[in-house]
Amino acid sequence: MDIKNAIGEQRPSYSGHNPAWAALLSVVPGLGQLYNRRWIKGVLLLVFGLSLIYTLSVPLFNGIVGLIGLGDDPELDDSRTLLVQGILSVILTVILLGLYALNLNDAYRDAKKRQAGVRTPSVRQAFHDSWEHGFPYFVVIPNFIMMALIVIFPLLFMISLAFTNYNLYNSPPAHLLDWVGFANFKALFTEAVWSKSLLSVLAWTVVWTLVATTLQITLAFFLAVLINDSRVRFKKLIRTVFILPWAVPSFMTVLVFAAMFNDNFGAINRDIFSHFGVMIPWLSDPLWARIAIIGIQVWLGFPYVFTLITGVLQSISKDWYEAADVDGGSRWKKFRYITMPHVLYATAPLLIMQYSQNFNNFNLIYLFNKGGPPVSGQNSGATDILISWVYSLTFNENNYKMAAAISIIMGIVVAAFAFYQFRRTRSFREEDMY
């Protein structure tokens, strides 16, 4: 009652007005709104909804049918086009169904309000309200549609390719694609070449991610603590030089490293190791190639972490250390119980991001040695990680179905990692504090 008085409510309530009826009527978009006597909204929705249904239902239906069958006649149908159109139809259908549900909900809620006797807002008022409440939707929805096209659609496409027989020998437009269920996954785990490759790539991806990232973090931490020592001078110069590997485009430095590590004419062998009478096969021996790649990543990756940690070190209050001095704490104890917790607490999310970046560090692997050297009995190279293997399967061997199947495995790893991230990101725990 209070609220009604406050907004100057004068109309009687329509207790006979039935929300369920309104929702039921708006099965045809707009009718429910008309029943609620929201004339303009009702007519607009009616015209808009019916014309959408009229124009889109046939193409959407055809698109989904095409997705199911993937074409009958190789002369007429290109399975890839059908796949693209089919997936887009599914996305569009889901969006339209969502809007449709909003329409039902809207009719129901308006009817509820009317039943309770809340005054129907004027069109102008409604327009104002929709700007007021709808602002985030105006911003988010168009962007989401574009994202659906450019980010989500390709992922769905990749997922569906994994269940087809699309490869170099069976590729449109000469051939039609078929759905093959889990055959590709079965091959991946049972056929010797694939399972051996998958296993070695997976193992190396894990080792690479853990070792390279941990090394770069450890080195950065160590250096940051050393340079932060109050007795060290020229701090600014030292820090500037230490940032250089980050500041120079990695695309360039990796290719420079590829030249330097070259087995025959590379500077590393010629200028350094030749003095000791050894020539190390950096690019052709699996073990040495892996060592070289980890070394390069540490070189490339430590400056970012170094800068982060330096920032945190400078913000730790001196009082902590003075208190520790009073208590006679050793240097190690001060590091272990003051420095470490501070730094790790402040930078943990970014350090975890470093791991996920290295997991997907395509540029370094591919530019350095294209995933090579080759290994006999496998169709992946010795330094291939999942993402570079997927790339070479896709673009060099055109083996789309297997590339897609491997991508899905990668996706599962990424999603599991993402899930773990969600649970510990503070912005989610504190979400509703403001």
Partner 1 sequence: MKASKRSALEVSGIYLVVLIMFAVILYPLVWAFSMSLNPGTSLFALKLIPDNWSLEHYRWLFTNPRSDYALWYKNTLIVAFANGIASVCLVTILAYAFSRFRFVGRKNSIYTFLLLQMFPVLMGMVAIYLLLNTVNLLDTFTGLILIYVFGGLPMNVFLVKGYLDTIPRDLDESAKMDGAGYMTIFFRILIPLAKPIVAVVALFTFMAPFFDFLTPRIIIRSPEKFTLALGLYNFINDKFANNFTIFAAGTILIALPIATVFLLLQRYLISGLADGATKG
Measure CA 327 to chain center: 48
Provide the 8-state DSSP code for 151: I
Sequence-separated contacts (24+) of 119-124 with Cβ below 8 Å? 119/7, 119/9, 119/10, 119/11, 120/36, 120/37, 120/38, 123/40
Choices 15-23, 34-42, 49-57, 404-412; region in contact with partner 1 by CB under 8 A: 404-412
Choices 7-15, 46-54, 282-290, 357-365; region in contact with partner 1 by CB under 8 A: 357-365
Q: Of these, 133, 275, 318, 423, which contacts partner 1 (CB under 8 A)?
A: 133
253 forms part of the interface with partner 1 (CB under 8 A) = yes
Neighbouring CB atoms inside 10 A of 277's CB total 6
CA distance 364 to 213: 13
Contacts of 190 (CB under 8 A, 6+ apart): none
Percent of the chain that is helix, strand, coil (3-state, to 5): 75, 0, 25
**Residue 28 or 95 having the CB closest to partner 1:** 95
Q: Of these, 50, 97, 241, 323, which contacts partner 1 (CB under 8 A)?
A: 241
R_g of the chain computed on alpha carbons: 31
**Residue 139 or 291 having the CB closest to partner 1:** 139
- Nearest distance from C-beta of residue 211 to partner 1, angstroms: 18
Distances (CA, A) of 353 to 220, 221, 297, 347: 15, 16, 15, 10
Q: Of these, 27, 123, 207, 252, which contacts partner 1 (CB under 8 A)?
A: 252
312 forms part of the interface with partner 1 (CB under 8 A) = yes
Give the footprint of partner 1 on residues 154-183 (CB under 8 A): 154-158, 161
CA distance 155 to 143: 17
Backbone φ, ψ for residue 328 (5° rounding): 75, 35
223 forms part of the interface with partner 1 (CB under 8 A) = yes
48 forms part of the interface with partner 1 (CB under 8 A) = no
324 forms part of the interface with partner 1 (CB under 8 A) = no
262 forms part of the interface with partner 1 (CB under 8 A) = yes
265 forms part of the interface with partner 1 (CB under 8 A) = yes
206 forms part of the interface with partner 1 (CB under 8 A) = no
**Residue 221 or 242 having the CB closest to partner 1:** 242
401 forms part of the interface with partner 1 (CB under 8 A) = no
Q: Of these, 72, 129, 191, 271, which contacts partner 1 (CB under 8 A)?
A: 271
Backbone φ, ψ for residue 100 (5° rounding): -60, -45
81 forms part of the interface with partner 1 (CB under 8 A) = yes
CA distance 152 to 160: 12
Q: Of these, 350, 396, 397, 412, which contacts partner 1 (CB under 8 A)?
A: 350
387 forms part of the interface with partner 1 (CB under 8 A) = yes
